Amino acid sequence: MAKQGKLIIFSAPSGAGKTTIVKHLLTKFPELEFSVSATTREPRGDEEIDKAYHFISKEEFLHLIAKKQFVEFEEVYSGTFYGTLRTEIERIWKKGKTVIFDIDVEGGLHLKRKYNGAALAIFVQPPSLEVLKERLTGRGTDSEEKLKERFAKAEKELNYAPRFDIILKNNDLQTACKDAEELVKNFLK
């Protein structure tokens, strides 16, 4: 077992901008490494296999659940599973690095409860539900049906913000990235 290190959790409804902010932070802080989740969804856009996600079948996912390989997992959308592998966190801590997550709201709170003070849980807040919908539609990666499912979930998830350590407003992207850099810098000290 690796020595326990730190964790930085970015959670938000889909479309709030967490992937964009996490990617930015990874270019700025070599001491961070991204936790690659496992998922049963298909790769989309320019996502690289085993970099964006470990894309696996539902059978394989269920097998990993049975073998207790997940620190947390969720059926984030109906029939589509996402989960954080134990081995992923261990791998990153072994290198002496801090793990950074892009994870849904329930999963983020789950990790925060588990790791407490070792974890910083950040909720990325869009200016409004309307803007969130525009961003998600503008990203152009989801079908009409998938968009509807994501909007419905987003509306509920926005209420979870106060349960996080910090709410990071993502109105202007550049400002949000700078604010995120400050938060990470202070937490890594």
119-125 and 32-34: which strand pairing? unpaired
Q: How far apart are the C-alpha atoms of 38 and 62, rounded to whole Å? A: 11
Residue 16 sits in the site that holds ligand ADP (CB under 6 A): yes
Residue 88 sits in the site that holds ligand 5GP (CB under 6 A): no
Residue among 12 and 99 whose Cβ is closer to ligand ADP = 12
Q: Which does 76 bind (CB under 5 to 8 A by kind): ligand 5GP, ligand ADP, none?
A: ligand 5GP
How is residue 56 written in tokens? Answer: 């696996």
Residue among 84 and 98 whose Cβ is closer to ligand 5GP = 84
**Could you tell me which of 120, 167, 173 has the C-alpha nearest to residue 12?**
167
Instruction: State the number of binding residues for ligand 5GP (CB under 6 A).
Output: 13
Residue 138 sits in the site that holds ligand ADP (CB under 6 A): yes
Q: How far apart are the C-alpha atoms of 159 and 175, rounded to whole Å? A: 23
As to burial, measured by CB atoms within 10 angstroms (0-12 exposed, 13-18 middle, 19+ buried), residue 189 is exposed
How is residue 121 written in tokens? Answer: 């849980």
In the complex, minimum distance from the CB of residue 183 to ligand 5GP, in angstroms, rounded to a whole number: 18
Scanning residues 166 to 185, which ones bind ligand ADP (CB under 6 A)?
170, 172-173, 176
Interaction mask 33-72, ligand 5GP, x per CB under 6 A: ----x---x------------------------------x
How is residue 165 written in tokens? Answer: 């350590």
Range list of β-strands (E), 97-142 = 98-103, 119-125
Residue 107 sits in the site that holds ligand ADP (CB under 6 A): no
Q: How far apart are the C-alpha atoms of 7 and 32, rounded to whole Å? A: 9
| Site residues, ligand 5GP (CB under 6 A) | 14, 37, 41, 72, 74, 76, 82-84, 102-104, 107
- Note the residues at the interface with ligand ADP (CB under 6 A): 12, 14-20, 135, 138-139, 170, 172-173, 176
